[in-house]
A = this chain, B = another copy of it.
Amino acid sequence: MDGKKILGSNIAKEFIKELQKTIYENKIDVKLVTFLANDDPAAEKYAEVTAKACAETGVKYELRKINREILEDAIIEANNDPMIHGILVYYPVFGGGHDQYIQNCVNPAKDVEGLCHTYRFNMYNNRRFLNGVESLKSIIPCTPLAVVKILEYCNVYDMNKSYGNHLSDKIITIINRSEVVGRPLAALCANDGAKVYSIDIGDILEFDRGHNLQLPKYRVHDSDKRLEDILPISDVVVTGVPNLKYKVSTDLLKPGVIAINFSSCMNFEDNVVSRASIFVPAIGKVTTTMLQRNLLRLKKHQMNWSIKYQNLTDQ
C-alpha cells in the first residue's frame, strides 16, 4: 500500500490559522524587516515567499534591497529602530565566516531566524529558556524548527512520554550537517531522546543522550556503521543535499519510514511513497510560518527584556 505525500502547505495550515487569530484578536502590530544584499535568484524567490506568507497573517513586511558593503550598518540601524520587531537576512551574502559574523550582528532580541550565537548555544546545550526564566522561551533556528514541527504533525513525537524523551525510541537519519540546518536538527532530535545518525560527505556521527537517556544533553561520537546499514533501521530520514543527482535509494528505506526533504533539489526517488508512510517533499511553507512564530515570541520578549538584550550588539 502506498504512503501519503503531504505538502508543507498542508502542515502549515493550522499554524497559519493560529498566527492569524493571535494577530487579529490581539490587534498585534508587528513588523519584519528583511535584507536582500545579493543577486541570488533563490534568495529573491525566498524573499517573495516570505512576503506572501506575512501578507497572509497580517505581519508587516518590508524588503530592503541594499549593497552588501553597507549591510552591517543597515542591520545596526534596524537593531536600534523600535518600530522594527524582527530582522531577516537572505543568505548567502559574502559566504563562509563573514556571513556567520553578520548573523551575530543581528540583535538577539530581533533575530527571527535564531541564527545568532545566543540561540545556537542554548539549543546545543538543551537550555530551553533565556536566563533560565520560564516565561522567556529561547528561539530555535527556524528551518530545523520546521522539521521538528513536521515530525510532531506526523506523530513521531510520543507525547505520552516525559518532556525531553518524546523521541526516545526513534532512529532518525539526517543527510546534511550544515551549521544552519543539519547539525542543529541532529542536536534538537537527540536532546528530545532520539538516536540520530548525522551523515556528511566525510563521515557519519551518532548523536544521542546515552544509555537510558541519562545525560542532560546529547553527546556525539563517530559511527562505525555505513549508510546502507542505517537507512533500513531509520524511522525518519531527513535529506538536505544540494545536488540534483543525489538520491536516497527507496530500496534501502524501512517500510513505513517518514521521509522529509528540505533540499532545493529532490533527494528521494519518484517511488519513495511505495515504501514511506509519509513523504514531505519540501518544507519552505512550514519554515516561513515558524519564522513568524519566532517573530511573535520575540515581540512579546521585547516588552519584557532588560537593556541587556536590547543592547547586546552594542558592547
Contact = CB atoms under 8 A, between A and B. Distances in A.
A220 B179 CA distance: 27
Given A96-B96, A308-B308, A101 B221 contact: no
A315 interface: yes
Contact of A98 (B117, B179, B308): B179
Stoichiometry, copies per complex: 2
A285 interface: no
* Residue from the set A72, A180, A315 with the largest chain B CB neighbour count within 10 Å: A315
Interface string A172-190: 0000001110010000000
B97 A117 contact: no
A122 interface: yes
A121 to B, nearest CB: 6
A130 interface: yes
Contact of A313 (B121, B219, B220): B121
Give the interface residue-count category, chain A.
20 to 34
B179 A101 contact: yes
B221 A96 contact: no
A193 to B, nearest CB: 19
Interface in A136-169: none
B96 A117 contact: no
A77 interface: no
A104 B104 contact: yes
A315 B122 contact: yes
Interface of A: 69-70, 72, 76, 96-98, 100-101, 104-105, 108, 117-118, 120-122, 124-125, 130-131, 178-180, 183, 219-221, 308, 313, 315
